[in-house]
Each structure stands twice: as structure tokens, then as C-alpha cells.
A = this chain, B = another copy of it.
Amino acid sequence: MVEPHTTTTVAAANATTTTRFGILGCAGIARKVSRAITLSPNSTLHAIGSRSIEKARTYATANGFPSSTKIYGSYDEVLDDPEIDAVYIPLPTSLHLHWVVRAAEKKKHVLVEKPPALNVKELDVILNACEVNGVQFMDGTMWMHHPRTKIMADFLGNSQLFGQLKAVQSSFTFSADSEFLENDIRVKPDLDALGALGDAGWYCIRACLWAANYELPKFVTALRNPIKNSVGVLLSVDASLHWEDGKVATFHCSFLSNLTMDITAIGTKGTLRVNDFIIPYKEAEASFSTVSEAWFTDMDLEWNRKPSEHIVSADLPQEALLVKEFSALVDAIKHGGALAPENKWPTLSRKTQLIIDAVVASIDKGFLPVEVVY
């Protein structure tokens, strides 16, 4: 907000302005993100477009969109609206290449659902389009933006409390119902061909990279016999990431099991566990546990200490914090004098997508290890 006593020139340089969002499509996840756009203090929901204007109108009404929200009967109309700064793209992954590139060419900043692309080759076209058009790119990995994530990372980075990372185990599973397993875009080879790997696995891979402070592994191996549906889309898969220094991460992602989302990171001196890393049990506060230098009492009868629970409050839901962060970056480009978009987020997307590619390649090669090169 511009303070009344500042001059116009200073205000233009420092002001936080509102990033006006357009949404492409009426995906289920857009309900959550449209709420986040409304909750975030530096963004507004400006428009939604669908291939059917009737569908867009019904969706906007059903989800309580502000009455000022413009309703469009095509994605292109959203991109052509000069009042829109940024678009949120929750379309099926197979449509990302086309629509993200088009949005970037129309100078719209892009928040895109994960996985951002079907593979790194596509993602590189997307990221290049964003870069040459000077627009911010970010994928929709919400847990990155919860304050808990930073506090957990501080623990992992503490050489006294955690030491060096040695192993990560992560999982994300949920028990999809028969409707999902038959009709959801995430089981369709022409829409989200990466299936459980691109959806649930994306989070596990990001977690493994996050725990390793985003150092890429040397190679990745898919574990044998992933489960696919009748048209070849992955429903459940395990993989391992292997770093140069010997640390190892394994993950399990699946549409076929009870909702579970774990990271266990084990270091030379400490252990961190979180069991709701993707979506915290509750919005207002989230917890994790740590223990350092655990050992046994005399005769190995008991432990010298139990893990401690840490609770982190969040003033906004993590998806609103995502929107806030994204909008601040957009604002910095628009008004704050940022010379170029923030490169952190496209880099994290690309590293995660590289591992996705490597897991797919390992499956294709009969579960051989696949080297990872940035």
C-alpha cells in the first residue's frame, strides 16, 4: 500500500500492487487456488476462462468467485485481457506446453500446476518462452511455501543437530476411488501420461531433492514392477535416488493406498519426520518431529531421548502463501525494478522434472540406473 506521505516516485518503486489473475479451465484444484488468490493480500481473481462459457459461469458461481470476476468462453480471451497480469494453469499436463508458451508470449506471468510438463524437453520450451518474454514461472507445489518447510530445512542444514544427510524415505499415496481410476485425467495417457509418478511422485521427488538442499543425485533407478493401468499409465511406482557421496533416497507413490504423505530424513546426527508434508492436517498450524544424537541408555534398555514435536503456525494457508510469493515476484518485475524473473522456481521445477524423466527412462530400460545431468 502507498503511504500517503510518500512521493509518487518512491511509491512506484516500493509499492506492493495487486497481481490480477486469470484462471484457465475449471479444474478441481482451481477451487483451492482461487480461494488462495482471494486470501493472498497482493492478488485478485480477475477472470476465469473455459472452453464453455456456461461451464465457467457455473463454476464461478458455485465457488463464490467475486461478482467482478470476468467470465470467458475460451482460454485465449483470458490471455488477451490486458488487465490480467498472471494466469493460473491447472489444465491437464499434455496441454501445458501449448498454453504456458502462449501465455508467456502474451506477457502473462505463469503459475502452472504440477507436473509442469510431460518431460524436460517440453519443460525447457516452456521455461525458455517464459524467460524470453520476461515472465515469472512457478509450479504449484504448495508445501514449498509453508513456513514449516523453511524451519524443517533449517534443521536439515544444521550441522550440529542434523549433520550430513544420509538417507531419505518419502511416500505419497492416496486411495483413489473407482471413478478416479476410470475417469480422472491422471489415469489417461493423452492427458496426464505420467500418472501417479507425475502427480503423487512429483511431491516425493521434490521432497528428496529438498532434503538434499536441491543437489541433484548422480543417478536414479526405478524399482521393479510398478503397477500400471490397462492403458499403461502408472498407478504405483517406487524409485531410488543415489548421490555421489553415497546418500540414498527411496520413495513410494501410489493411487492405490490410504492417504499417506511422509518424509523421513536421516542424517549423521539427527532425524526429521513429517507425516503431512504436502497438505498439513490443519491449515492454522503444522508439525514435524526431530531428534538429534539419539542413543541408548545403559544396556540398550531405552533411548536417551524421544523425538520432539515442533508446531509451526501459518498466518495464511500454504497455497495463499504460494500465491503471495508468486504475486510479489510479479510485482517486482512490474514495479519493483527486478531485472528478470526469479530463477529459483523454474530451476526447482526443472530439477524435479529431470528426476521424473529419469524414473521413466529407468522403467523403459528395464530398471537400470539412469544418470541425471542438469
Contact = CB atoms under 8 A, between A and B. Distances in A.
Looking at chain A's contact residues, the main secondary structure is strand
Contact of A294 (B32, B221, B259): B259
A59 to B, nearest CB: 13
Interface stretch (A47-55, A90-98, A264-272, A334-342): A264-272
Interface stretch (A14-22, A116-124, A187-195, A275-283): A275-283
Nearest to A270: B258
Size bracket of the A interface: 35 or more
Contact of A252 (B169, B225, B252): B169
Contacts of A225: 242, 246, 248
Contacts of A240: 223-224, 238, 250
Interface in A258-305: 258-260, 262, 264, 266-271, 273, 275-276, 279-283, 291-296, 299-303
A126 to B, nearest CB: 25
B35 A259 contact: no
A224 B257 contact: no
A166 B173 contact: yes
A299 B173 contact: no
A257 B296 contact: no
Contacts of A273: 262, 275
B302 A280 contact: yes
Contacts of A236: 166-167, 246
A115 interface: no
Contacts of A268: 175, 256-258
A227 interface: yes
B223 A257 contact: no
B163 A167 contact: no
A31 interface: yes
Contacts of A141: none
A38 to B, nearest CB: 12
Given A252-B266, A280-B302, A281-B306, A258 B163 contact: yes
A140 B269 CA distance: 28
A248 B283 CA distance: 32
A283 B301 contact: yes
Interface of A: 29, 31-32, 35, 163, 166-167, 169, 171, 173-175, 219, 221, 223-225, 227, 236, 238, 240, 242, 246, 248, 250, 252, 254, 256-260, 262, 264, 266-271, 273, 275-276, 279-283, 291-296, 299-303, 306-307, 317, 369
